[in-house]
Structure 1
Amino acid sequence: MATHTTASCTGSTLLQPISDIINLPLDQVNFVAGQLFALLMAVWFRIYLHPSKTSPFIRHVVATLLGFYLALFCFGWYSLHFLVQSGLSYGVMVFAGLEHMHKYCFIVTLGYLIVCQITRVYVFDYGMYSADFTGPMMVITQKITSMAFEIHDGLTKREGQLTPSQKYLAISRMPSLLEYLSYNCNFMGILAGPTCSYNDYMAFIQGTGYRPRCHHSANGKENGKCKQSEPSSKNDVISKLCTCAVTLGVYLWLCKLLPVERCIDEDFVNNTPFHLQILYLYLAMLALRPKYYFIWTLADAINNAAGFGFNGYNKDGSPRWDLISNLRILDIEFATSFKLFLDNWNIQTSLWLKRVCYERCTINPTAATFLLSAMWHGVYPGYYLTFLTGIAMTMAARAVRHNVRPFFLGSASYKCVYDVLTWLATQVAISYTVVPFVLLTVGPSLQFYRSWYFGLHLVCLLVVLVLPVRSRRRLAREQQDAPQEDPQEDQDQDQDHNSTDNNCNQKDKAT
């Protein structure tokens, strides 16, 4: 096993003895070690390269060089793909006309990612290799394409043509090559992201991301004196690291006990009552999620430790460090709708999909968004089966919400019953939908769906055909023409797939 792991890892073999001792693949050991090193460097970066005593140029250079070092440590020479992808896209930004630059950049960046994914999956056999080099490229793809659209918005459009969030994100000048590489490949996000807006990253580098707080006199009124206050992220970092420890422990404990592959085992399917198959499927998917909780929470803690991620203040004056957070665990586990689950899972990717696709696509934006998400994730057929199923689930969930939910709003007890039923339905629907995402290939995925007689697919089709539902644009027109009877309901229906874009303006509202 050790020999296979060494052969399949393209990065450093320095930690091979540790990999042998703890019996984990070397690529995973390198990833965790790299993130722990990034955490230490983040603390050092904030203390010794603070914006008050270091120029943005030095901060850019150090963040970029540390990022390249981590990439080489984990991926070896395959990390050169990060530079090639970034270089090609920067060339498009510089030499293509501003009018169509964002489209060309999107095609080149996403196309290069897909070529690398095809090569990795269908040309090279990586066996159990999991921390593949295309993972960081997925985040870099998000950053490059977001930047291209934001440059296009900032340099070619008038303010009246932009939504409030697009106005906030718009970039008014072409970034230098150093700024561009620092944004894409900095050590805080090179291994696991999350993605962030270019303007937020530049505010972090320049030290302008903290809002001034005004002191109040004894009578509670502002005395007119505001000082630049730099909040501490220590409590949030410690809290997130504790979450990492718990989720990692849960994952290592459960992942071997509840394999998803058992759902397609013939003996299990033939000899297990269907309600127990449903329960097992839910538990198996529940056991997989802590892996993502660990990776994304650790990445968030690294950025916070460096001073990045401040998002204003709560009402009690405590700082919030969730500007680039990628998930809300409790909201995921207790989600009462398909949309609510997606809103709180991989948040920054949902925002990217919303900004580059959902808001800009004129033909069926929901389907286009799911299709883009599948292409971005990779070339395994299971991804496409999952996201095509997700389209049907989203349409059916929207139809049920529009037509059924109003009957349960008459009393608190009815609303409680509705929430319990929709929580159960959401957990089953999510688990059913993402099985191909885990199994990856067509045969096992269809085998699973056949064992369920494609039940939820048929239910979704029936719901969409029977229950009427208004389109997003028609709903928006009706809301403009008539007063809202249920503002909260209208607010909940605003988007189908992605979370509301509060990250762009929460800072001002919360201060």
Structure 2
Amino acid sequence: MEQTGIKYKTTGCTWLQSVSEVVGFPLDQVNFLACQSLALLAAFWFRLYLSPQHVSPLVRHAVAALLGMSFIVFCFGWYSLHIFMLVFSCYCIMIKANADNIHRYSLMVAMGYLTICQISRAYIFSYGILSTDFSGPLMILTQKITMLAFQVHDGMCGNPGELTAEQKRLAVPSKPCLVEYLSYNLNFLSVLVGPCSSYKDYVEFIEGRHIRGRLSLANGKQSGQDSWPEPSPMRAVTHKLLVCLVCLFLFLTLTRALPIAHNIDPQFLSEASFMSRLTYAFFSVQAARPKFYFAWTLSDAINNAAGYGFKGVDKNGLESWDLISNLNILGIEMATSFKTFIDNWNIQTGVWLKCVCYDRAPRNRMALTFLLSAVWHGVYPGYYFTFLTGIPITQAARIVRRNFRHHFLSSAALKLGYDVLTWAATQLAISYTVMPFLLLATEPSMRFYSSMYFHFHIISILVVISGHLVAGATKRHSYQAHHSNNNVKEN
């Protein structure tokens, strides 16, 4: 009866229902994995048989878009209409709106539609229907639509003197045609889980200029090198697929063995000590990461298999295929500060936020960027608990680093001890901060924080207050000393 209910509720294709029942995974996850596996095979075919040397850019654009649209329909059924409606609505804005306002209109429409869909799914329709969760592709689509709109605005209306070097490089001087627009937004390489990349980089990939342009930079920097052979992505793809297998194994073992929901289990909260609860929170959040690692690394491998994502060659001649990578697993797991963790997690979303908000806001850039990020993620209270909790903890970490780090740089042993201590503190703080993000609702989030006695909130706020008091006292002391010196000189 349970499987029948799932089959009845599913809006995506049900061809793999029997596979879902055999392996014990929800049908939406089976459909997703099937599409990504097919996308990997299609990516090799796209690079080898639909290369720019064999077919025109128009053919590559059309094939990439049609495959991506097919994957969307397969996974989400009639819910895919939401995605297509947003794409075509924003394309109408692209061709009809004045370039002076194209970025504003696109941002309002894309973010507005995304928010409406998220509210509807969270509070009007049943959130338990996993296979109808089309918000992921819609979130990626919102990034692409708005990033392109801002880059078209830069290319057609931007004052070169006011643009940053990166904005100048990525500026789009003319509006794309419909096929190009659909290809960029709905291509099979990134339509399901991303990542978002710049329109200019994507078009260079489609037209066959992506690798050549970056190799020319390497050739110019390498003395004695007149040319560089075109690199193969196979080594990078193989490495990333092996990482995916490890992450899948960890998901099937650790993630299932350490469920997040156990953090708020009444019996566990009543019987376990504080240290036991804190330890479980740490390991359960660590165990929740492999599913994100798997999805993003697989998507990265798919793009690389198609020949997209080449970053360049370093001074030692080593090739990098991490141009559009969405995470750095080692950087995340070894992070010794909040900033390091954020810089290595969901990297392309950070690039998007910088492009459409942080670099353009006239004031309060950090606050506006946090607000946009929170709204983009969704409407669940847990998301906002996470962002609000992260603010004082981030400020406290900066104060501690500024006032104490230099005391530990006199020897390698002290520096190692400091790194170990800050790693443990950072990972515990991350676990504490992101727990509501995983629990979603208000009541479970508050239950967890209550079981933790709000200790990170209290400690971080006290550190911030102390830091401001010390800074104020130091400033007053410096002012008084300076004033006294001036009086002595006058006398």
Report the TM-score, using the length of structure 2 for normalisation: 0.91
Rounded Cα–Cα distance in structure 2 between residues aligned with 1:299 and 1:451: 37
Q: Is the 8 A contact 2:11 2:131 kept in 1?
A: no
The alignment status of 1:180 with 2:181, answered yes or no, reads yes
For residue 367 of structure 1, report the CA deviation from its aligned partner.
2.3
Q: Which residue of 1 is the match for residue 268 of structure 2?
A: 268
Query: What is the DSSP-based 3-state SS (H/G/I as helix, E as strand, rest coil) of the residue aligned with 2:227?
Result: strand
Q: Which residue of 1 is the match for residue 351 of structure 2?
A: 351
Q: Which residue of 1 is the match for residue 459 of structure 2?
A: 459
For residue 87 of structure 1, report the CA deviation from its aligned partner.
1.4
Rounded Cα–Cα distance in structure 2 between residues aligned with 1:213 and 1:151: 26
For residue 232 of structure 1, report the CA deviation from its aligned partner.
0.2
Q: Which residue of 1 is the match for residue 246 of structure 2?
A: 246
Q: Bigger shift: 117-126 or 440-449?
A: 117-126
The alignment status of 1:285 with 2:285, answered yes or no, reads yes
Report the residue type matching 2:363 in the other structure: I
The alignment status of 1:413 with 2:413, answered yes or no, reads yes
Q: Is the 8 A contact 1:215 1:222 kept in 2?
A: no
Rounded Cα–Cα distance in structure 2 between residues aligned with 1:28 and 1:469: 52
Report the residue type matching 1:222 in the other structure: G
Q: Which residue of 2 is the match for residue 363 of structure 1?
A: 363
The alignment status of 1:115 with 2:116, answered yes or no, reads yes
Rounded Cα–Cα distance in structure 2 between residues aligned with 1:446 and 1:208: 52
For residue 281 of structure 1, report the CA deviation from its aligned partner.
0.6
- Spell out, residue by residue over 1:100-129, the C-alpha distance to the aligned partner (whole angstroms, 9 max, x if none): 221121011110111111112222214241
The alignment status of 1:170 with 2:171, answered yes or no, reads yes
Q: Is the 8 A contact 1:89 1:144 kept in 2?
A: yes
Q: Which residue of 2 is the match for residue 59 of structure 1?
A: 60
- Spell out, residue by residue over 1:279-309, the C-alpha distance to the aligned partner (whole angstroms, 9 max, x if none): 1111100111000000000000000000100
For residue 77 of structure 1, report the CA deviation from its aligned partner.
1.4
Q: Is the 8 A contact 2:31 2:74 kept in 1?
A: yes
The alignment status of 1:39 with 2:40, answered yes or no, reads yes
Rounded Cα–Cα distance in structure 2 between residues aligned with 1:9 and 1:315: 52
Aligned residue-pair number: 466
The alignment status of 1:199 with 2:200, answered yes or no, reads yes
Q: Bigger shift: 395-404 or 371-380?
A: 395-404
Q: Is the 8 A contact 2:184 2:202 kept in 1?
A: yes
Q: Which residue of 1 is the match for residue 78 of structure 2?
A: 77
- Spell out, residue by residue over 1:458-481, the C-alpha distance to the aligned partner (whole angstroms, 9 max, x if none): 11211221214999xxxxxxxxxx
- Spell out, residue by residue over 1:60-100, the C-alpha distance to the aligned partner (whole angstroms, 9 max, x if none): 00000001111111011111211211111122222222222
Q: Which residue of 2 is the match for residue 101 of structure 1?
A: 102
Query: What is the DSSP-based 3-state SS (H/G/I as helix, E as strand, rest coil) of the residue aligned with 2:99?
Result: coil
Q: Which residue of 2 is the match for residue 10 of structure 1?
A: 11
For residue 379 of structure 1, report the CA deviation from its aligned partner.
1.2
Q: Is the 8 A contact 2:32 2:75 kept in 1?
A: yes
For residue 411 of structure 1, report the CA deviation from its aligned partner.
2.4
Rounded Cα–Cα distance in structure 2 between residues aligned with 1:246 and 1:407: 39
Q: Is the 8 A contact 1:8 1:126 kept in 2?
A: no
- Spell out, residue by residue over 1:313-357, the C-alpha distance to the aligned partner (whole angstroms, 9 max, x if none): 133323210000011111101100001001101110111112212
Q: Which residue of 1 is the match for residue 158 of structure 2?
A: 157
Q: Is the 8 A contact 1:371 1:388 kept in 2?
A: no
Distance 1:350 1:470, change over 3 A: farther
Q: Is the 8 A contact 2:76 2:131 kept in 1?
A: no
Query: What is the DSSP-based 3-state SS (H/G/I as helix, E as strand, rest coil) of the residue aligned with 2:25?
Result: coil
Rounded Cα–Cα distance in structure 2 between residues aligned with 1:469 and 1:2: 60
- Spell out, residue by residue over 1:37-65, the C-alpha distance to the aligned partner (whole angstroms, 9 max, x if none): 00010011111100111100000000000
Q: Which has the larger radius of gyration?
A: 2
Query: What is the DSSP-based 3-state SS (H/G/I as helix, E as strand, rest coil) of the residue aligned with 2:161?
Result: helix
Q: Which residue of 1 is the match for residue 394 of structure 2?
A: 394
Report the residue type matching 1:208 in the other structure: R
For residue 454 of structure 1, report the CA deviation from its aligned partner.
1.3
The alignment status of 1:222 with 2:253, answered yes or no, reads no
Report the residue type matching 2:160 in the other structure: E
Q: Bigger shift: 113-122 or 194-203?
A: 113-122
Report the residue type matching 1:281 in the other structure: A
Q: Is the 8 A contact 2:27 2:131 kept in 1?
A: no
Distance 1:99 1:282, change over 3 A: same
Report the residue type matching 1:294 in the other structure: F
Written as runs of structure 1 = structure 2, the 5 A alignment for 1:288-367 is: 288-367=288-367
Rounded Cα–Cα distance in structure 2 between residues aligned with 1:221 and 1:231: 19
- Spell out, residue by residue over 1:380-422, the C-alpha distance to the aligned partner (whole angstroms, 9 max, x if none): 1111111111222222222222222222223222221111111
Rounded Cα–Cα distance in structure 2 between residues aligned with 1:6 and 1:112: 28
Query: What is the DSSP-based 3-state SS (H/G/I as helix, E as strand, rest coil) of the residue aligned with 1:161?
Result: coil
Q: Bigger shift: 336-345 or 5-14?
A: 5-14
For residue 25 of structure 1, report the CA deviation from its aligned partner.
0.5
Distance 1:469 1:169, change over 3 A: farther
Distance 1:470 1:166, change over 3 A: farther
Report the residue type matching 1:404 in the other structure: F
Distance 1:27 1:215, change over 3 A: closer
Rounded Cα–Cα distance in structure 2 between residues aligned with 1:383 and 1:51: 43
Report the TM-score, using the length of structure 1 for normalisation: 0.88
Report the residue type matching 2:165 in the other structure: P
Report the residue type matching 2:380 in the other structure: Y
Q: Is the 8 A contact 1:370 1:390 kept in 2?
A: no
Rounded Cα–Cα distance in structure 1 between residues aligned with 2:360 and 2:159: 16
Written as runs of structure 1 = structure 2, the 5 A alignment for 1:473-484 is: none
Rounded Cα–Cα distance in structure 2 between residues aligned with 1:251 and 1:51: 38
Distance 1:16 1:413, change over 3 A: same
Query: What is the DSSP-based 3-state SS (H/G/I as helix, E as strand, rest coil) of the residue aligned with 1:310?
Result: coil
Query: What is the DSSP-based 3-state SS (H/G/I as helix, E as strand, rest coil) of the residue aligned with 1:226?
Result: coil
Q: Is the 8 A contact 1:386 1:433 kept in 2?
A: yes
Distance 1:215 1:338, change over 3 A: closer
Q: Is the 8 A contact 1:89 1:109 kept in 2?
A: yes
Q: Bigger shift: 153-162 or 188-197?
A: 153-162
For residue 364 of structure 1, report the CA deviation from its aligned partner.
2.6
For residue 137 of structure 1, report the CA deviation from its aligned partner.
0.7
Query: What is the DSSP-based 3-state SS (H/G/I as helix, E as strand, rest coil) of the residue aligned with 1:159?
Result: coil
Distance 1:464 1:70, change over 3 A: same
- Spell out, residue by residue over 1:121-174, the C-alpha distance to the aligned partner (whole angstroms, 9 max, x if none): 222214241561111010010011111111111211222211111111111111
Rounded Cα–Cα distance in structure 1 between residues aligned with 2:5 and 2:463: 49
Q: Bigger shift: 37-46 or 129-138?
A: 129-138
For residue 221 of structure 1, report the CA deviation from its aligned partner.
5.6
Distance 1:128 1:283, change over 3 A: farther
Q: Is the 8 A contact 2:10 2:131 kept in 1?
A: no
Rounded Cα–Cα distance in structure 2 between residues aligned with 1:107 and 1:269: 43
